Amino acid sequence: NAGVTQTPKFQVLKTGQSMTLQCAQDMNHEYMSWYRQDPGMGLRLIHYSVGAGITDQGEVPNGYNVSRSTTEDFPLRLLSAAPSQTSVYFCASSYSPHRGRGTQYFGPGTRLLVL
């Protein structure tokens, strides 16, 4: 198994540009989520999905959209990039964490710099 994969590894954007961060998993996990990691703020949940076709907001959803058309993929879209979105983004997946099958597996991350 490849586990959780993320592309790209690194991206530079200009303010106002849009882009999509890709995330895929091959473990047939129903639960997927996106976090951002910032110095001094730790990891914060952006959006999550409990299955194909179902998404919901996390702690810091503003400026981001997600969709879940398949079990495997969970892309994160930045609509109009802002310097405040400079961060490292991690995707994670697991079997349903609130049903006790909760080991969450993280991808390698995407480093985003918004100028």
Residue numbers at the binding site for other proteins (CB under 8 A): 31, 33, 35, 42-43, 45, 48, 50, 56, 58-59, 90, 92, 94, 96-98, 100, 102-109
Give CA–CA dist 21/99, Å, rounded: 28
Q: Which is nearer to other proteins, 16 or 54 (CB)?
A: 54
31 closest CA partner among 61, 63, 4: 4
Which residues pair with residue 43 across a beta bridge? 37
Residues 6+ apart with CB under 8 A from 40: none
Q: Which is nearer to other proteins, 2 or 42 (CB)?
A: 42
Taking the complex as a whole, the smallest distance from the CB of residue 5 to other proteins amounts, in Å, to: 11
Q: Which is nearer to other proteins, 45 or 82 (CB)?
A: 45
